Structure 1
Amino acid sequence: MAHRIDVQHHLLPQAYVRAVGRDRIADTIVSNQCPDWTAEVSLEAMDRNGIATAMLSLAAPGFHFDSAADAAALARLCNDEAAAICAQYPGRFGFFATLPLPHIDESLAEVDRALNGLGADGICLLTNYGGHYLGDARLAPVLEYLNARGTVAFVHPSDIEGGRPLPHLPAATLEFPFETTRAITNLLFSGQAARLRDLRMIFSHAGGTIPFLADRISRLERRPDLACHVPDGALAEMKRFYFDIALSAGARTLQPLLDFVPPSQILFASDFPFAGEDTMAATVRALNGQGLSADVVSAIEAGAAQALFPTRRMAAVSPQQAVVLNSQI
């Protein structure tokens, strides 16, 4: 029985690909190729890997138009397509809506349209918009509104603004983990994390380097000007977040994450189609092949997501519809 819930699964609407450019999309990922994606391609991979439901989102590079109207129009097109896919395949897909940030008024309007009108399960945020990281005061009105609504926000890393220090390497390899770490650290020491108590944030790829650097980041509390922003302590704030295991299911990455937060805050994710089906299958095998208890695996594969999205009707897929790769686990 397919039962996994994939919280990092990307759609590539043709309007988005045309607007951003295949080369720019390809430049961020290890394969250096922009995938040819359709919902049916996703469903076939999901069925072969025991994934009942995938939560769709846009990923990097996103779009950062100077024109608020252009950004808002493209966000609407992408969100409309995601909603249409969910309606076409009930239970198989959910989605995190895209916002035309850093344009605040247009983003607030799209939050309402997506959550109230389209049935979005949450909002997708990028780690930075034009170099302004989550935690920046310029983005605060949107995060505060999401918090007031008790929204789930999926946070995907963006490319570094101004060019990578190692430009011959794709952003996905080094910059994405560090981008997530920068965004979390800025949320902490801007004071926003302490204020956004009802905004449930899922960070990609095991939180970047957070499980490894958490203690080092917490040393910033030695500075009174920074400590005042984390009255409960930086570690306590970081431990409130949720983390997915896209590209992070192996023991060298997953075990530090399990030492950092409980399985109820860790979610299955594939990063498909930017990571191919071979990576999706390897994630399934790694999670099930390192001797974790059945309760831990169950929480990561579905339980944590079901708790975050209690009103989402997840798919129930029969064994005839899904070929789970048990023979390779």
Structure 2
Amino acid sequence: MRVDVHAHYFPVDYLDLLKSFGSTRTDIARIPCAGNAEGDIDARLRTMDAAGVDLQILSATPQMPYLEDAGSAVEAARFVNDRYAELVADHPDRFAALAAAPLPHTDEAVKETVRALDELGFAGASVNTSVLGRTLGDPAFDAYWAALDERSAPVFVHAAGRDLDSPQIADHGLTWIVGAPFEDAVGVLHLLRAGVTTRYPNIKFIVPHLGGSLSFLLQRIDDNYLYYNETFPDVPSKLLRRVWFDSVGAYGPALRQAVETFGADRILLGSDFPYFQGDLYTRAVQYVIDAGLTPAQTRQVLEDNIQQVFKLG
């Protein structure tokens, strides 16, 4: 089965709810085929069929219910998770869902995540690389990670679109071109440094966009750990080879480098739908086939590895 692990679903009424709670970032998600407007799902399914994709695993990232007010955050999280549950119920063979949690409110996040996983049957959870300025390594989130670890849940970690708090990114139109993959890299390094992946080893973390710059910088990261006694709980390369990365990148040399660095068994097929539609969606699959991997490696990325991360029917 060919599964796309990196696909977004933005119900219009959910975006409207976030906007009513003060979000100013929903416009980027209001694009054709992104949500539940008339014809959106049929068009999405046609796109999947054209690319030979059997199932999409959907997340609301980066449009997450991260709100200062706990009541609003919980309402938004329950709303979007219910919308996801409805879509999966309508198309159980084509879609699976990742839970959105009302972070940074940890007790509420645990309750809603447990509901989504245990009652609604979600396939895992999703988080942004930062939560209202807090890193994913913040000790306040430990109970949330513990609940996911108890369930051996996959967790998809997506760029927050917050520019790494850098005006050199934000003020020059580079939020998603450059900012996102660097957020991916920084976000997972926060998890590693804080010992989250070590203390909660049953969580299957997935990092998009081939891990951003991580495969290129891995030796440098290791060297700094060994020379400066950086505060990772183990050699960073060992820790990174215990997480997974999606193939969003559409560039053969980058995929080959990621495979050589992390192993072909650590790469999952991803597309970034709906931001890549039509021919670009097909390319997200085809470039893996054309990247110059061995046939066995290609099969791992396109079909085999997903079964090691998700329990799919």
TM-score, normalised with respect to structure 1 = 0.86
Could you give the per-residue CA deviations for residues 138-159 of structure 1, whole angstroms, max 9, x where no partner exists? Answer: 2222112212221110111102
Could you give the per-residue CA deviations for residues 205-237 of structure 1, whole angstroms, max 9, x where no partner exists? Answer: 10111101112222134334x34x42x311100
Aligned residues of 1:23 and 1:34 also touching (Cα < 8 A): no
Give the Cα–Cα distance (whole angstroms) in 1 for the partners of residues 168 and 287 of structure 2. Answer: 32
- Choose which of 8, 11, 14 in structure 2 pairs with 1:13: 11
Residue 228 of structure 2: aligned partner: 223
Residue 91 of structure 1: aligned partner: 93
Give the Cα–Cα distance (whole angstroms) in 2 for the partners of residues 155 and 254 of structure 1. Answer: 19
Pairs aligned (count): 302
- Choose which of 133, 152, 155 in structure 2 pairs with 1:153: 155
Could you give the per-residue CA deviations for residues 100-134 of structure 1, whole angstroms, max 9, x where no partner exists? Answer: 11111110001110011100000001100012111
- Is 201-210 or 155-164 further displaced after alignment? 155-164
Unaligned residue ranges in structure 2 (runs of 5+): 35-39
1:212 aligns with 2:216: yes
Task: Please tell me the residue identity of whatever aligns with 1:165.
Answer: Q
Residue 285 of structure 1: aligned partner: 286
1:170–1:25: structure 2 CA closer, same or farther, 3 Å change rule? farther
Could you give the per-residue CA deviations for residues 68-103 of structure 1, whole angstroms, max 9, x where no partner exists? Answer: 111111111111111111111121111111111111
Aligned residues of 1:178 and 1:208 also touching (Cα < 8 A): yes
User: Which secondary structure state, in structure 1, belongs to the residue aligned with residue 97 of structure 2?
Assistant: strand
Computed over aligned residues only, the root mean square deviation of the Cα atoms, in angstroms, reads: 2.0
- Choose which of 164, 168, 189 in structure 2 pairs with 1:165: 168
Give the Cα–Cα distance (whole angstroms) in 2 for the partners of residues 163 and 64 of structure 1. Answer: 20
Q: How do 1:1-329 and structure 2 match up within 5 A?
A: 3-21=1-19, 24-27=25-28, 34-37=31-34, 38-160=40-162, 162=165, 164-166=167-169, 167-218=171-222, 219-224=224-229, 226-227=230-231, 229-230=232-233, 232-246=234-248, 248-310=249-311, 312-313=312-313
User: Which secondary structure state, in structure 2, belongs to the residue aligned with residue 59 of structure 1?
Assistant: coil
Give the Cα–Cα distance (whole angstroms) in 2 for the partners of residues 258 and 96 of structure 1. Answer: 25
Q: How far off is 1:62 after superposition?
A: 2.6
1:191–1:223: structure 2 CA closer, same or farther, 3 Å change rule? farther
Q: How far off is 1:36 after superposition?
A: 4.4
Task: Please tell me the residue identity of whatever aligns with 2:288.
Answer: L
Unaligned residue ranges in structure 1 (runs of 5+): 314-329
Could you give the per-residue CA deviations for residues 167-218 of structure 1, whole angstroms, max 9, x where no partner exists? Answer: 2314211111111111111122222222121111010110111101112222
Give the Cα–Cα distance (whole angstroms) in 1 for the partners of residues 119 and 4 of structure 2. Answer: 23
Higher relative contact order (CA 8 A, sep 6+): 1
TM-score, normalised with respect to structure 2 = 0.90
Residue 324 of structure 1: aligned partner: none
Aligned residues of 2:114 and 2:147 also touching (Cα < 8 A): no
Q: How far off is 1:15 after superposition?
A: 2.4
Could you give the per-residue CA deviations for residues 226-258 of structure 1, whole angstroms, max 9, x where no partner exists? Answer: 34x42x311100111100012x13222101100
1:185–1:283: structure 2 CA closer, same or farther, 3 Å change rule? same
1:188–1:6: structure 2 CA closer, same or farther, 3 Å change rule? same
User: Which secondary structure state, in structure 1, belongs to the residue aligned with residue 89 of structure 2?
Assistant: helix
Aligned residues of 2:65 and 2:100 also touching (Cα < 8 A): no
Q: Percent identity?
A: 27
Q: How far off is 1:162 after superposition?
A: 4.4
Q: By percentage of residues, which structure has more helix?
A: 2
Task: Please tell me the residue identity of whatever aligns with 1:106.
Answer: E
1:290–1:252: structure 2 CA closer, same or farther, 3 Å change rule? closer
Aligned residues of 2:2 and 2:52 also touching (Cα < 8 A): yes
Aligned residues of 2:61 and 2:127 also touching (Cα < 8 A): no
Task: Please tell me the residue identity of whatever aligns with 1:10.
Answer: H
User: Which secondary structure state, in structure 2, belongs to the residue aligned with residue 202 of structure 1?
Assistant: strand
Give the Cα–Cα distance (whole angstroms) in 1 for the partners of residues 235 and 197 of structure 2. Answer: 11
Give the Cα–Cα distance (whole angstroms) in 2 for the partners of residues 242 and 39 of structure 1. Answer: 28
Give the Cα–Cα distance (whole angstroms) in 1 for the partners of residues 189 and 308 of structure 2. Answer: 26
